[in-house]
């Protein structure tokens, strides 16, 4: 009977999956594709002469100041052609010390005067680099934001003063090729770079300052831009790529095709409501997060604004009603309540202006940490940033609902029950395969709803990525992402912000900390962080904490399951996701469900054991699941045999099991579900 039911379930899911696959295929064929900027897929930056200014270009003033004959440094650098000290150093034939010695000797032979080349190359070039590097680094960020790859051809300049010249962010380049160690010829360097990028020569653009190097790239079929003057080079780069590479704001990109909005109508609206009349036209970029509400960066004169526009059709996971007016009024109330949120400026519910309702708010300057390990901060600072995150969450949960007029938020009834029902329906609508852990969770969660201790404003998706921090101190300047806000159980927010502690660091959908040494990183554990929050609100963490964690991971699994479908529909979400990601998160959720089952099992009285239905295996196996009643009633003992945990032998079964695996007694409908390692032998 059980096997027949399983077969029917699989058949129904298979038929449903086939139907949805056809629908998604049709949607993908008709949906607009992501733009490929012309023919280019990657841009290569030379370090020397591009990110690091060429020495001969900055030597004239230094030579005059030091009474060194003009042109001495340039002649010394170029002396010997391909066997010059700089060429030999870049090929790895000279160490930094040997290079400085030979360059100094060359300068002495030319000018008959001792030249402090170490001082020149360190002080002067580094000062000049700080003018040029930010401009080119900003271009690299813009290029990556548009979906192109970036590569760095590094010359490994290091003059023995404790590090390299370039203080670059590790994530600025997809590929770094060290010219000193990896190849001798210039064309070999470019071939290696193309191989690592996975692109063809005609799909790649090279920025360099050396004519021989650019000629070598051109011979391979790569397009080139010579960098003599950075501003002129950036203009030429923009012409090649077809999008701006200056004025970058983090996490933004050019507006996607099909998501454009009429600039003239927006400019007229802003001029009317803000009483400002800038001379130039407004500029638009789009934020790269994947929400149902489209977010745009608007440069209006000298002001940077954020426009949030409602999208059709609305997201089925969002609370009912227009999302944009709801979020606008919520942000306005939260600002008056002292919760750090962006400053809202105007709401337009007239769909004739931009097609759907929208609101405008100020861009909150600050820092968003998408890496939960906070590696950009010093080790001694990281715990304070987590403490600030717990502090602002406590502030959200302490908002007076009636005083701030937030009673209109949805949340009547059992919040968690409503959430489980909503997310389960969403999962059924987007599921593409049978995930056993999700099937078990869908049965288990409704049977273990906790009694809510208090009802507060709930953010709904509280995590590090939705916080804007002060650049220099542990202070949250604004909380973003209020799409799922409602009235509900505050521990759902706390559990949501603890998920990163249990996800892998290189998880494609969302980075985590599960294999990190938190002590070495200076980060709090999940228990320590949750205690920071609980001390702020004056509550103890609930006994059923594992339920909250299981519920949080269940929601994330549903969101990841729906992500590939949204990508196929032409609405790409940030962070690649795969069916394996969904399965991993679902298994994490079920692991917490198991822990909750153990907690309940161990808390039962030993004299009158109250037991629960348990599934003792993770997948489909040959044995039916045992079901145990949660009511204390007497069941006559009937000697039977059941398998031990390893399934190697049979031992007497306890009196509360029945041979059919069904609950004995009249209360068999009042059951809960847990998983333990074996039906009759629970162990921690």
Cα distance between residue 190 and residue 179, in whole Å? 10
Q: Write down the H helix ranges in 178-336.
A: 186-197, 211-219, 230-241, 263-274, 323-336
pLDDT top residue among 176 and 123: 176
Q: Would you state the pLDDT for residue 409?
A: 67
Residue 115 structure tokens: 């030249």
Cβ atoms of 532 and 474 closer than 8 Å: no
Q: Would you state the pLDDT for residue 501?
A: 96
Element (H, E) at 135: helix 125-145
The three-point CA angle 333-334-340 to 5° equals 150
Cβ atoms of 454 and 538 closer than 8 Å: no
* pLDDT per position as a tens digit, 43-81: 998 876 566 555 555 666 667 766 778 778 778 877 777
Residue corresponding to tokens 């379930």 = 9
Cβ atoms of 166 and 46 closer than 8 Å: no
Determine the distance from the C-alpha atom of residue 212 to the mean position of all C-alpha atoms in its chain, rounded to a whole number.
Answer: 41
Residue 482 structure tokens: 């209020």
Cα distance between residue 468 and residue 340, in whole Å? 9
Calculated CA dihedral for residues 599, 603, 609, 614, nearest 10 degrees:
-10
At 673 the three-state DSSP class reads strand
Residue 245 structure tokens: 């590479």
Cβ atoms of 159 and 55 closer than 8 Å: no
Cα distance between residue 562 and residue 427, in whole Å? 7
pLDDT, mean of residues 512-525? 94
Q: Would you state the pLDDT for residue 76?
A: 80
Cα distance between residue 634 and residue 621, in whole Å? 30
pLDDT top residue among 588 and 17: 588
| Residue 586: pLDDT over 70 | yes
| Residue 166: pLDDT over 70 | no
By CB atoms closer than 10 A (0-12, 13-18, 19+), residue 402 is exposed
pLDDT, mean of residues 209-227? 88
Q: Would you state the pLDDT for residue 121?
A: 64
Cα distance between residue 491 and residue 455, in whole Å? 10
* pLDDT per position as a tens digit, 392-418: 999 999 998 876 777 666 555 689 999
pLDDT, mean of residues 513-520? 93
Give the number of other Cβ atoms within 10 Å of residue 373's Cβ: 19
Cα distance between residue 388 and residue 677, in whole Å? 39
Element (H, E) at 396: helix 379-397
Residue 665 structure tokens: 């007694």
Q: Is the peptide bond before 313 cis (omega within 30 degrees of 0)?
A: yes
Q: Would you state the pLDDT for residue 124?
A: 56
* pLDDT per position as a tens digit, 248-274: 787 888 888 888 899 999 999 999 999
Rg from Cα positions in the chain: 31
Q: Burial code of 32-61, b = ≥16 C-beta within 10 A, e = fewer?
A: eeeeeeeebbbbbbbbbbbbbbbbbebbee
Cβ atoms of 248 and 145 closer than 8 Å: yes
* pLDDT per position as a tens digit, 333-382: 999 999 999 999 999 999 899 988 999 999 998 999 988 999 889 999 99
Lowest-pLDDT choice from 83-87, 349-353, 356-360, 564-568: 564-568
The three-point CA angle 614-620-622 to 5° equals 85
DSSP secondary structure string for all residues of 35-68 = P--TT--EEEEETBTTTB--GGGSHHHHHHHTTP
Residue 121 structure tokens: 């190359």
The reported pTM is 0.68
Highest mean pLDDT among 43-47, 288-292, 493-497: 493-497
DSSP secondary structure string for all residues of 429-449 = HH--S--HHHHHHHHHGGG-P
Cβ atoms of 164 and 122 closer than 8 Å: no
Q: What percent of the chain has pLDDT over 90?
A: 35
| Residue 137: pLDDT over 80 | no
Q: Burial code of 86-113, b = ≥16 C-beta within 10 A, e = fewer?
A: bbbbbbeebebeebbebbbebbeebbee
Query: E strands of 271-390, at which residues?
Result: 283-287, 294-300, 303-309, 344-348, 358-362
Which residues are within 8 A (CB) of 369 and not within 5 positions of it... i.e. 6 or more apart? 376, 385, 464, 465, 467, 469
Q: Would you state the pLDDT for residue 387?
A: 97
Query: E strands of 459-545, at which residues?
Result: 467-469, 476-479, 486-488
By CB atoms closer than 10 A (0-12, 13-18, 19+), residue 297 is buried
pLDDT top residue among 551 and 680: 551
Q: Is the dihedral of CA 235, 236, 237, 238 positive or negative?
A: positive
Determine the distance from the C-alpha atom of residue 216 to the mean position of all C-alpha atoms in its chain, rounded to a whole number.
Answer: 38
Cα distance between residue 566 and residue 224, in whole Å? 37
Which residues are within 8 A (CB) of 473 and not within 5 positions of it... i.e. 6 or more apart? none
């Amino acid at each position: 009977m059980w096997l027949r039911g399983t077969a029917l379930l699989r058949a129904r899911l298979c038929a449903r999956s086939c139907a949805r696959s056809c629908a998604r295929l049709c949607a993908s064929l008709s949906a607009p594709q992501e733009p490929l900027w012309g023919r280019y897929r990657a841009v290569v930056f030379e370090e020397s002469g591009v990110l690091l200014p060429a020495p001969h270009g900055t030597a004239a003033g230094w030579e005059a100041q030091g009474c060194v004959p003009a042109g001495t440094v340039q002649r010394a650098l170029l002396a010997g052609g391909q066997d010059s000290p700089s060429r030999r150093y870049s090929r790895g034939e000279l160490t930094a010390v040997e290079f400085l010695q030979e360059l100094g000797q060359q300068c002495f032979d030319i000018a008959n005067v001792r030249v402090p080349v170490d001082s020149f190359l360190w002080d002067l070039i580094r000062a000049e680099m700080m003018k040029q590097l930010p401009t080119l680094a900003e271009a690299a960020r813009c290029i990556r934001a548009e979906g192109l790859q970036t590569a760095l051809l590094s010359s490994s300049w290091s003059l023995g003063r404790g590090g390299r010249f370039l203080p670059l962010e590790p994530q600025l380049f997809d590929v770094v090729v060290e010219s000193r160690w990896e190849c001798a010829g210039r064309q070999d360097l470019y071939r290696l770079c193309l191989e690592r990028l996975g692109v063809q020569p005609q799909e790649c653009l090279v920025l360099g300052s050396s004519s021989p190097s650019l000629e070598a790239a051109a011979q391979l079929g790569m397009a080139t831009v010579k960098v003599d003057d950075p501003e002129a080079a950036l203009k030429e780069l923009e012409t090649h790529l077809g999008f701006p590479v200056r004025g970058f704001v983090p996490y933004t990109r050019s507006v996607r095709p099909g998501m454009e909005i009429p600039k003239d109508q927006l400019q007229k609206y802003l001029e009317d409501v803000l009483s400002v009349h800038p001379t130039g036209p407004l500029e638009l970029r789009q934020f790269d997060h994947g929400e149902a509400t489209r977010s745009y960066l608007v440069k209006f004169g000298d002001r940077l604004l954020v426009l949030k526009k409602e999208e059709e059709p609305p997201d089925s996971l969002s609370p009912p009603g227009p999302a944009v007016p709801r979020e606008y009024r919520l942000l306005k109330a939260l600002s008056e309540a002292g919760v750090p949120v962006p400053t809202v400026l105007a709401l337009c519910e007239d769909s004739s202006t931009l097609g759907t309702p929208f609101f405008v708010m100020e861009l909150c300057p600050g820092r968003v940490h998408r890496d939960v390990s906070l590696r950009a901060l010093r080790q001694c600072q990281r715990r304070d940033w987590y403490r600030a995150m717990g502090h602002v969450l406590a502030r959200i949960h302490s908002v007076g609902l009636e005083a701030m007029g937030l009673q209109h938020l949805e949340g009547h009834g059992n919040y968690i029950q409503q959430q489980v029902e909503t997310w389960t329906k969403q999962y059924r609508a987007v599921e593409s395969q049978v995930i056993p852990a999700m099937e078990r969770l869908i049965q288990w969660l409704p049977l273990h709803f906790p009694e809510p201790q208090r009802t507060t404003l709930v953010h709904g998706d509280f995590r590090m990525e939705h916080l804007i921090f002060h650049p220099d101190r542990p202070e949250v300047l604004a909380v973003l992402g209020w799409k799922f806000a409602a009235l509900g159980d505050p521990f759902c927010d706390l559990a949501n912000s603890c998920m990163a502690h249990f996800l892998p660091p290189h998880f494609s959908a969302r980075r985590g900390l599960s294999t990190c040494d938190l002590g070495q990183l200076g980060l709090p554990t999940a228990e320590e962080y949750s205690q920071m929050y609980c001390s702020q609100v004056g509550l103890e963490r609930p006994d059923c904490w594992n339920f909250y964690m299981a519920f949080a991971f269940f929601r994330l699994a549903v969101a990841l399951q729906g992500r590939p479908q949204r990508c196929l529909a032409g609405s790409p979400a940030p962070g690649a996701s795969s069916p394996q990601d969904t399965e991993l998160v679902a298994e994490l959720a079920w692991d917490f469900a198991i822990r909750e089952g153990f907690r309940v099992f161990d808390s039962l009285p030993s004299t009158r054991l109250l037991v629960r239905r348990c599934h003792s295996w993770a997948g489909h196996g040959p044995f039916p699941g045992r079901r145990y009643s949660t009511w204390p009633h007497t069941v006559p003992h009937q000697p039977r045999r059941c398998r031990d945990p390893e399934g190697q032998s049979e031992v007497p079964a306890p009196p509360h099991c029945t041979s059919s695996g069904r609950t004995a007694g009249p209360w068999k409908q009042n059951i809960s579900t847990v998983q333990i390692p074996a039906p009759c032998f629970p162990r921690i």
